[in-house]
């Protein structure tokens, strides 16, 4: 059975955050603790919107593509 990630928008007070999370946690209204790129965890993020759904293997293989954006887009 394939596993999936879902792109979700989270809200905490006036803050907004978007991330890919495993589908099992992507339930509207659920409040989660999220780990950021620098490794620290933050409590209190509510799942407000669900978006695209993709195979977990694809999301994990491409999660750092933004680090090479300039290399890919410069002439």
Q: Report yes or no: 7 and 47 within 8 Å, Cβ to Cβ.
A: no
* Whole-number pLDDT of residue 32: 96
Give the whole-angstrom CA distance, residue 62 versus residue 75.
22
The burial of 26, by beta-carbon neighbours within 10 Å (0-12 exposed, 13-18 middle, 19 or more buried), is given as buried
Kindly report, residue by residue over 13-71, the tens digit of the pLDDT: 999 999 999 999 999 999 999 887 788 999 999 999 999 999 999 998 888 887 777 77
Contact 61, 54 (CB under 8 A): no
pLDDT category of residue 75 using cuts at 50, 70 and 90: low
Number of domains the chain contains: 1
Tell me the whole-structure pTM to 2 decimals: 0.79
């Amino acid at each position: 059975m394939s596993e999936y990630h879902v792109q979700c928008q989270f809200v905490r007070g006036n803050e907004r955050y978007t991330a890919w999370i495993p589908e099992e946690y992507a339930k509207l209204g659920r409040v989660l603790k999220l780990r950021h790129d620098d490794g620290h965890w933050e409590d209190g993020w509510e799942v407000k919107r669900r978006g695209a759904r993709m195979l977990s293997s694809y999301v994990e293989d491409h999660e750092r593509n933004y680090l090479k954006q300039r290399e890919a887009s410069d002439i």
